[in-house]
């Protein structure tokens, strides 16, 4: 399913960031933990994911579940960003999308943030126009080029369409 595909994308990114192979692909309800990612990077990625969830103006439980899953997957066992505080920061605009993106200096981390944002947007089905505009803005803020994102977007879209057709 879509969540599993996003989790697999996450596993590949963890391998890229840490330089260590991921021994087995995760199951649909689990993801490897990345001990190499800093707390600031985790907060930034979660902030971006929250902006992705709010991009369409709808409140959907599937998007909230996806964010919780991402938070669990990103967190080290001893330190996890406080989701309720991050929700408030995003809702009250105490942190901007631009500031969150600026905290991500590594190309692989920026790509991961983008791919997880796509997963959040697609958690409730295919993303619509507001989410598409958000993802275009995010791609620009993260300084990602089309070559970095086209393959993922095409594969993700195919998975979402086939998942919806199976329902």
pLDDT in tens, 15-53: 444 444 444 333 334 444 444 688 899 999 999 999 999
Predicted pLDDT of residue 4:
45
Q: Tell me 25's DSSP state.
A: P
Which DSSP helix (H) or strand (E) runs through 53? helix 39-54
- pLDDT score, position 9: 54
pLDDT at 39: 86
- Global pTM? 0.74
Ordered alpha helix ranges (H), 83-144 = 83-91, 97-102, 107-122, 129-141
Higher pLDDT, 80 or 121: 121
pLDDT exceeds cutoff 70 at 61: yes
Predicted local confidence at residue 107, as pLDDT: 87
């Amino acid at each position: 399913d879509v969540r599993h595909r996003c989790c697999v994308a996450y596993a590949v990114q963890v391998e890229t960031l840490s330089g260590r192979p991921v021994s087995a692909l995760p199951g649909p309800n689990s993801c490897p933990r990345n001990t190499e990612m800093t707390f600031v990077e985790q907060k930034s990625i979660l902030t971006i994911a929250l902006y992705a969830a709010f991009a369409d103006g709808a409140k959907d439980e599937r998007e909230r579940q996806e964010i919780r899953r991402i938070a669990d997957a990103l967190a080290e066992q001893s330190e996890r960003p406080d989701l309720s505080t991050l929700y408030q920061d995003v809702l009250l605009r105490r942190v901007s999308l631009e500031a969150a993106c600026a905290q991500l200096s590594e190309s692989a981390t920026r790509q991961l943030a983008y791919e997880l944002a796509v997963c959040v947007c697609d958690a409730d089905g295919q993303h619509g126009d507001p989410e598409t505009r958000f993802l275009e803005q995010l791609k620009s803020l993260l300084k990602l080029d089309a070559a970095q994102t086209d393959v993922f977007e095409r594969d993700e879209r195919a998975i979402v369409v086939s998942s919806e057709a199976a329902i």
